[in-house]
Structure 1
Amino acid sequence: MTSPENLLVCSTAGEVFAINKTDGTRVWNSKLSGVGYGVGALFVFDNKVYVGMNGHLIALNLADGAVIWNNPLSTMWWSEVSVLVTSTNSNSNASSYKPQGSVVLVGSFGKVCGIDPELGGTLWKNELKGAGYELPCLMLDSSAPDAVLVGCGRRLYKINIYNGQAIWKHKLSKAIFAPSCVTMATQQSSLQAAFTYTGFNNNPVAQQHRRHEREKNSGD
């Protein structure tokens, strides 16, 4: 049996695969039902693989790829999904509600949700007022463990991970015809990225661009 730390989890064509990094053998693959043939945004945390694809968030068992739960992310439609998982701060006084363990943060279709990692239920939803319907970019900041930074629709938001309320928001640009996606970086995030991988793995903005191109070409 391949140990979890030796697994490389991949996604393409509506499936998720676990590959042994040492010898390249396939350990398991999971065909995701009802989500089409997209490329999943992946986040491995503890014993689960969280997959965001076409308006759904799916939790798989890291050991065998079995589906644990599937959240269809109501009102996010058939859109690309950004995924992050964070441990909650039990000492925080920011909210009267404190989920235990971790929170799965999901961004899609101009919205951000907090998801229960065990049962898959939606804990809260922030509609990102004024951000439109683009794919949000999500970033955690170690200096503020109770919050997530969100970029969407030429705007920035800092959101409480316990209750989904906006701590602050900032309009970056008044441009009308320019692209409305937002990228973000801090010194810490840039150093982490330099030693890890490109952001396509958990914030697949490139997929959104391809979808827009397909929609544009289909109208010709």
Structure 2
Amino acid sequence: MIISPENLLICSTVGEVFAINKTDGTQVWNARLSGVGYGVGALFVSGSKVYVGMNGNLVALNLADGAEVWRNPLSGMRYSEVSVLVANTSSSKGSIVLVASFGKLCGIGSELGETLWKNELKGGCYYLPCLMLDSSDPDVVLVGCGKRIYKINLLDGQTIWNQKISSNIFGPPYVTMATHQSSLQAAFTHTGFNNNPVAQHARRMKDEKDSRE
């Protein structure tokens, strides 16, 4: 039985990705991400693919059957939690997968999974960036990392500007962002940790604490 993509709910936990039929709750497919660990995946569905960011890796799965299409090990991002977005640019390159982790932002080709560019987010340290697309300009992404905000060109990964918003040396090293349009979009979202995967971070912190005890 073929299930319409619009009727699939994609979920992730403990190193696996599941597709659930929203009508009756039956499982359509299950993908075990070998070699990635037992993390919680940040998910983004776009076109015919499911993009999964987990433990410093990006994996593209076929939306219809869960088969792995390609994998990018995200060199330099280590075994860290990942933020994922897919942006449709105005250029002939089509969509770009935006992946952020360990104080870095990468643009990944959506078809082949190749790394198109990498931005080191100067001054943001090695924290988890959060991402937000700008509805007024399809070729830029807004990034919060450490205590800085960056505006990045999606086509070449260059920083248009960056602004330090706090000089406080205390407090959490994360940034939250909102615009009028992003808030309207968030109203339809019941899980927002793709932009700032706190669940992944909390799991890692717990594992580190347990290892010290």
Structures share a fold, TM > 0.5? yes
Please give the alpha-carbon distance, in whole angstroms, between the structure 2 residues aligned to 1:54 and 1:154. Answer: 23
Please give the alpha-carbon distance, in whole angstroms, between the structure 2 residues aligned to 1:50 and 1:189. Answer: 21
1:110 aligns to 2:84 (yes or no):
no
Map 1:45-56 → 2, pairs under 5 A = 45-56=46-57
Map 1:1-220 → 2, pairs under 5 A = 1-90=2-91, 100-220=93-213
Q: Tell me, which stretches of 5 or more residues in structure 1 are unaligned? A: 91-98
Please give the alpha-carbon distance, in whole angstroms, between the structure 2 residues aligned to 1:178 and 1:8. Answer: 36
Q: Residues 144 and 174 of structure 2 are in contact (CA less than 8 Å); yes or no, is this contact kept in structure 1?
A: yes
The residue identity in structure 1 corresponding to 2:128 is: L
Please give the alpha-carbon distance, in whole angstroms, between the structure 2 residues aligned to 1:113 and 1:63. Answer: 26
Please give the alpha-carbon distance, in whole angstroms, between the structure 2 residues aligned to 1:133 and 1:212. Answer: 15
Q: Residues 83 and 194 of structure 2 are in contact (CA less than 8 Å); yes or no, is this contact kept in structure 1?
A: no
The residue identity in structure 2 corresponding to 1:135 is: L
SS of equivalent residue, structure 2 residue 200? helix
The residue identity in structure 2 corresponding to 1:139 is: M
Percent pairwise identity: 73
**Structure 1 residue 214, shift from structure 2 partner:** 3.5
SS of equivalent residue, structure 1 residue 106? strand
The residue identity in structure 2 corresponding to 1:127 is: E
TM-score (norm 1): 0.93
Please give the alpha-carbon distance, in whole angstroms, between the structure 1 residues aligned to 2:146 and 2:168. Answer: 10
Deviation string, structure 1 residues 20-72 (Cα, Å, up to 9, x no partner): 00011100000001100000000000000000000000000000000000100
Deviation string, structure 1 residues 70-121 (Cα, Å, up to 9, x no partner): 100000000000000011113xxxxxxxx52100000000000000011101
RMSD (Å) for aligned C-alpha atoms: 1.3
SS of equivalent residue, structure 1 residue 60? strand
Deviation string, structure 1 residues 122-180 (Cα, Å, up to 9, x no partner): 00000001111111000001112110000001110000000000000000111222111
**Structure 1 residue 206, shift from structure 2 partner:** 3.2
What count of residue pairs does the alignment treat as equivalent?
212
SS of equivalent residue, structure 2 residue 193? helix
Please give the alpha-carbon distance, in whole angstroms, between the structure 2 residues aligned to 1:84 and 1:17. Answer: 19
Please give the alpha-carbon distance, in whole angstroms, between the structure 1 residues aligned to 2:55 and 2:15. Answer: 10
SS of equivalent residue, structure 1 residue 200? coil
Please give the alpha-carbon distance, in whole angstroms, between the structure 2 residues aligned to 1:184 and 1:28. Answer: 34
Please give the alpha-carbon distance, in whole angstroms, between the structure 2 residues aligned to 1:201 and 1:160. Answer: 21
**Structure 1 residue 217, shift from structure 2 partner:** 4.9
